[in-house]
Structure 1
């Protein structure tokens, strides 16, 4: 897709962090913007800001709610026209160690980070394919979707899933002129850690004082790590360029490069001769 001007872009998690950075960049490139998020106050602020330069639709949406998603999708296309740029960005960073990872927490993370991506695909991609007017899908994964480190089983599982889904989609959608980008950001200065902590299900198993202290220390370390990363607006500009050039893999930095090289070498070394 060489030009996004005049296109309708639908962005989940679009009122904060990377989603808002992408919305700003797409609006600056001339796209019409549909934002959905759970944070109503942030949605109002984002709509007020972006409406100065673009046509904007905003609605509260939990990407896990398939009926609500279908209704919002209809409303968006009535208001702004057919969606041809889909940004499946909504996500959470929560999790727990395996001895505390219960069904409720697992289902919550999978439903947002993985099923939420498919819910976006299901609502918009068939229409893109039928219209044969091109389009682009951006799925936000993570560098944690490329190599396992210390982000936890739940987060890695969902983000590896998004990477695999995106690569398979690229093969299927290319003949229809629809591009796919899987965004695998390293550290980005967003508030995702705080928002996740406020919304994730509680771990039912009691924790000792030492375990609680370790959990809080890990939380603070992750927050500081992300604050030193790229700005959401810079990532947004990267995404727009990737859409225009039909770039499949998009990395915001090379922080996991050595780990990825080591992983792929191990895979290749394990292949039969």
Structure 2
């Protein structure tokens, strides 16, 4: 999709971090923006900034809420026109314990949030025609299990597989699909995740989580800037690329996983 100027993009988790970086890049490219996020203060700040560059509307949205999603989609298209670029970017990352409550939380946002975005907007894109593009934010942790945590890896592997399959299915419809697989990016995703995260069981667990949050946030702060990631995503949309890597952090893990998969194949006949 080389010509993006004047098109409307819908970005979840769009008021902070990578989502805001994508919004800035898209705004500079002349797109209209519908920014959805769960944090009202960040939404207000994002609108104040981005409105200087383009038409922008903001929406408070929990991507797990399908009825709210449909309502927000209607409002966004009524104000800005048909959405032809969808960025399923909202996500969480945090220390977890192995409980149904945490599985539901992690998968509800990282996986079902992506499904809800696709199920809300894709039928509209197909019905209207005229092409489009879907960007799903996964992670390098969706390409190899390198230690980001069982639940996080599970959710991101699913988004990668979904994106690969969706791209194949949508190619004849002139709708592109990109899966963003970032390494460390300078965001506060772990701290932000605690807004919706299930509560700690006791003071000791809360203290442990706080320490993990500080450690991971410090690592992420040394990563790629969100605005640079936004420019990568814009280029991928224009060039219709499937994968976006923000660095080479995952290289050795991807190579090791690929080798293990190939080595496990039965001998050639």
- In structure 2, the partner of 1:143 is 140
- In structure 2, the partner of 1:268 is 262
Query: Does the residue aligned with 2:187 lie in a helix, a strand or coil?
Result: coil
Find 2:220's aligned residue among 226, 244, 255: 226
Question: Deviation of residue 216 (structure 1)?
Answer: 4.1
The TM-score with structure 2 as length reference comes to 0.96
- In structure 1, the partner of 2:239 is 245
Q: Contact between 2:94 and 2:213, CA under 8 Å: does it hold in 1?
A: no
Question: Deviation of residue 219 (structure 1)?
Answer: 2.6
Q: Tell me, which stretches of 5 or more residues in structure 1 are unaligned?
A: none
Question: Deviation of residue 95 (structure 1)?
Answer: 4.0
Question: Deviation of residue 128 (structure 1)?
Answer: 1.1
**CA–CA distance in 1 between the matches of 2:24 and 2:79?**
19
**CA–CA distance in 2 between the matches of 1:110 and 1:203?**
19
Query: Does the residue aligned with 1:236 lie in a helix, a strand or coil?
Result: helix
- In structure 1, the partner of 2:62 is 62
**CA–CA distance in 2 between the matches of 1:219 and 1:43?**
23
Q: Contact between 2:95 and 2:209, CA under 8 Å: does it hold in 1?
A: no
The TM-score with structure 1 as length reference comes to 0.94
Alignment of 1:1-273 (within 5 A): 1-96=1-96, 100-204=97-201, 215-273=209-267
Query: Does the residue aligned with 1:72 lie in a helix, a strand or coil?
Result: helix
Q: Tell me, which stretches of 5 or more residues in structure 2 are unaligned?
A: none
**CA–CA distance in 2 between the matches of 1:48 and 1:222?**
29
Query: Does the residue aligned with 2:266 lie in a helix, a strand or coil?
Result: coil
Q: Contact between 1:25 and 1:237, CA under 8 Å: does it hold in 2?
A: yes
Q: Contact between 1:145 and 1:159, CA under 8 Å: does it hold in 2?
A: yes
Pairwise CA RMSD: 1.4
Q: Contact between 1:32 and 1:80, CA under 8 Å: does it hold in 2?
A: yes
Question: Deviation of residue 233 (structure 1)?
Answer: 0.4
Query: Does the residue aligned with 1:199 lie in a helix, a strand or coil?
Result: coil
**CA–CA distance in 2 between the matches of 1:89 and 1:214?**
27
Query: Does the residue aligned with 2:23 lie in a helix, a strand or coil?
Result: helix
Question: Deviation of residue 112 (structure 1)?
Answer: 0.3
Q: Contact between 1:138 and 1:180, CA under 8 Å: does it hold in 2?
A: yes
Cα distance change on mapping 1:58 and 1:267 into 2, 3 Å: same
Question: Deviation of residue 202 (structure 1)?
Answer: 2.0
**CA–CA distance in 2 between the matches of 1:36 and 1:216?**
27
